[in-house]
Chains A and B, each alone.
Chain A
Amino acid sequence: MIEPAKVFHSLQEAGDCLSRDWVIPADLPYFEGHFPGNPIFPAVGIVDASICVLSSVLSDPGLTAPVILVAKFTHPLVPGDQVRIDCKNLNGREWSVEWIKGSAKPYASLRIEVGT
C-alpha cells in the first residue's frame, strides 16, 4: 500500500513557489521490484509525485488529476538522482509538470488537468 502524501512527504515542503528540488530516495517502495539490481523510478511514481507537487503548489491536499493529457518519459530516473520539478499553469485547470535533471531537457514531462 502506498500513501503518496507520506511517501513523497519531502515534496510537500515549500521551495520556490512553483518548483521543488528533490533527491529521489533510495528507499521508495517501488525499487525492490522495479527492478532488482537495476532500480528505476517507475512512471506510476512520477505521476503520483507530480500530483503531490501540484497539491503542494496549489495548497490543495484533496487535489486530484481526473485527466492526464500527455506524459512523456524521455530518460530513466534512478535512486539518488537530483531533480527539479517545475510546475507551470497552462490554462485554467491545465498544468505542465517537468522533471529536470542538470541542464538537460526534461527527463519527464506531463500535462495534467487538475480537479478537487
Chain B
Amino acid sequence: MKSIPIQELLPYLPHRPPMVWVDEVTKFSSTDGECLVMIKADALYMSSNGLRASSCLEFIAQAFGFVWSCYLTRTLDPASGPMKRAMLVSFKDAHFARPEVLSQVVPGDVLRVPIEGVRAVGSITAFLGKVFKGEELLCEVQMRTFCE
C-alpha cells in the first residue's frame, strides 16, 4: 500500500500543528494499521533528553485516529465526514523503554507505530498500540478512545 501523508487526513481529526505528531499512515484495516513518525528536533514531543516517554502515548492515540479515519473514509464510507469529537478515555498497562533508550531517539529517526486488535463498541474503541525504533520497543499500551 502506498503511504498516505497526514496532510491528506487532517480534515478528519481536530488536531492541528504543532500537535500533529504523526507523519504517514502506511497500513489500515478494520482491525489493524500502522503509522510512521519522522522525528524532528523542534517538535513538541522532544525534550533536551531526547524523546519523552509520554510522547509515545500521543503517537499511539493519534496513529489510531488517523488509521481509523483512513478505514472509515477509504473503505467503509467515502462520504464520511470529520470526527466531531475524538478523545482518549483511558489506557492501561503502559510500559516504556528506559530513559537511556529514549534519549537515543534523535532527529531523522523514523518510529513505527502499529495499532492492533481494534474493536469498537458504540462510540468506544479499544486497541493495542506500540512504538518501535527499528526492532526496539519504546512503548506498549492498551487504549480506549471515544470517537463520534
B87:A73 contact, CB within 8 angstroms = yes
Question: Most chain-B Cβ atoms within 10 A of its Cβ — which of A2, A4, A67, A76?
Answer: A2
Enumerate A1-38 residues with CB–CB distance to B below 8 Å. Answer: 1-4, 29-30, 32-36, 38
Given A1-B46, A35-B15, A68-B94, do A76 and B54 touch, yes or no (CB 8 Å)? no
Given the complex, which residues of B lie within 8 Å of A32, measured CB to CB?
Answer: 16-19
Q: Digit string of A60-82 for contact with B (CB within 8 Å is 1, else 0)?
A: 00001111111111001000000
Tally of chain A residues near chain B (CB < 8 A): 30
Given the complex, which residues of A lie within 8 Å of B52, measured CB to CB?
Answer: 2, 4, 48
B132 at the A interface (CB under 8 A): no
State which size class the interface on B falls in: 35 or more
Query: CB-nearest residue of chain B relative to A66?
Result: B96
A35:B16 contact, CB within 8 angstroms = yes
Which residues on A are within 8 Å of B, measured CB to CB?
Answer: 1-4, 29-30, 32-36, 38, 40, 42-44, 47-48, 51, 64-73, 76
Which residues on B are within 8 Å of A, measured CB to CB?
Answer: 14-20, 41-48, 52-55, 57-58, 61, 87-96, 98-99, 141
Known: A3-B47, A34-B15. 10 other contacts (CB 8 A): A1-B47, A2-B46, A2-B47, A33-B19, A42-B58, A43-B57, A43-B61, A43-B88, A68-B91, A71-B92
